[in-house]
Amino acid sequence: MRTLIYHAGALGDFITTLPALEWWRRQHPNHFIVLAGKPELARLAKFAGIVDEIWDVQSAQWAALYNHDPDAAALYQMRRAADGDQT
């Protein structure tokens, strides 16, 4: 099973979220956890073994989510990636 967690907040918000991320990891030890966030912060969680993969929310692939009417193709591609289908 895969879990996608989205967090695009600043450093203080991210640090206060770490206990919840640790809890999620303990509750779901077999999940592959992807953290969509700011890479410079998300690396802390990856280094601590809380998450398995980092997605950069500042990359172009996320831009479609901020439109009034998100692009269906972009959403579909993100869903496939979240499900582990990288093709």
Which residues of the chain carry a pLDDT beneath 50? Answer: 87
| Residue 16 domain flag | yes
In a domain, 26, yes or no: yes
82, part of any domain = no
pLDDT tens for each residue of 21-36: 999 999 999 999 999 9
What is residue 46's predicted lDDT score, i.e. its pLDDT? 96
Evaluate whether residue 11 is within a structural domain. yes
Is 66 part of a structural domain of the chain?
no
Give the pLDDT of residue 80: 74
Residue 79 is predicted with a pLDDT of 74
**Full domain range(s) for residue 10:** 2-59
Identify whether 45 is part of a domain: yes
For residue 67, how many C-alpha atoms fall within 13 Å in the half-sphere facing its CB?
11
Contact indicator for 55, 34 with CB cutoff of 8 Å: yes
- Structural domains in the chain (count): 1
Contacts of 21 (CB under 8 A, 6+ apart): 5, 33, 35, 45, 50, 51
* Stated pTM of the model: 0.77
